[in-house]
Amino acid sequence: MINEFISQTTEFLNQSNIRIHESDVRLVEINDDCSTIRNFSYVNLNPNDIAENVLLHPLLFFTLLDANLDLKYPELSGKSFSHRYRNLPSSNDQEIILKECYRILKLLRNASAHNKNSISYNDEFVCVSYQFGGKDYKLKIKKYGLELIYSCLLKIYLDFDKMLPNEYRTGLARTYYDDILENISLFSDDEDTNLMSISQENLRIKRNVRYRIKKPEIEELNELNGLRIITTYASNEEIMARDEFLIEYKNKAYLVPAEVLDNDNKIQISELKKWVYSGE
């Protein structure tokens, strides 16, 4: 039953008019004479019209996330939302991001379910402000930031492309989370702590436009035990775009983002294991 609920709710949200900010992946195939670009994006012509219902969509996304956590952490099933939050793991960036998205949506869910008058919104912001049990519950988030939470949950945790390397998804998740925090100007709840931060040194993958270059020309550097990728596409002027390379090496496929290459477009062969791609 719970799997059916998750599947149907995910499909409903994917078919809604809530804007999901996923990467615009453009497959680039380069031949001798020209390059061909195919866009992976699609347009939903018959969306479920819920984007302006700021009481409904936080409830839907929180309930979907909560149901997924029941499957992932059955020992937390039946516990209070606060207990569940406090006992979610936070040993790495992916776990921290999931935990804090749950925390934000928990505040919105409780306000939507129990204190609807505490929620206000305009064209730019969604705000929550109420007191309960001697605690202040406050949130001021841009609508764009709320869309980023939904996007991160769907595309990184709930309905993600299972062919992508985990390291790739983690790099995207960090970028989403950085942008989410930038769009929150006020937050307080019963935890009496700020939203958790993640490491600033770890990999971020640009999430806007990705040029996925299929079978680029590569050079094996035996003396350095590395590979150099020769074929590139994105220009330096495209600040919102980065390349990524779908390469074949010794009968395995790898999806290598430009962000992990050095200034000479090189990567150590020992690093390739992080980027195994199961889609080819």
Domain boundary among 133, 156, 188: 188
Q: Is the domain of 75 the same as that of 159? A: yes
* Length of the chain measured in residues: 280
Q: Is the domain of 7 the same as that of 146? A: yes
Q: What is the pLDDT of residues 223-278, one digit of tens each?
A: 678 999 998 887 666 788 899 999 999 999 999 999 999 999 999 999 999 999 98
Cβ atoms within 10 Å, residue 235: 9
Query: Nearest CA to 202 among 244, 167, 231?
Result: 167
What is the structure's pLDDT at 35?
60
Which domain range does residue 127 map to? Answer: 2-16+51-188
Q: Is the domain of 163 the same as that of 100? A: yes
**Does any domain span residue 198?**
no
Domains contained in the chain, number: 2
Q: Is the domain of 263 the same as that of 129? A: no
Q: Is the domain of 6 the same as that of 135? A: yes
What is the structure's pLDDT at 59?
95
- Exposure pattern of 86-96 as b/e (b: 16+ CB <10 Å)? eebeeeebbeb
Q: Is the domain of 6 the same as that of 102? A: yes
Which regions of the chain are under pLDDT 70?
A: 32-46, 223, 235-237, 279-280
What is the structure's pLDDT at 46?
59
What is the structure's pLDDT at 31?
75
Amino acid at 164: L
What is the structure's pLDDT at 32?
63
Domain boundary among 156, 188, 220: 188
What is the structure's pLDDT at 160?
83
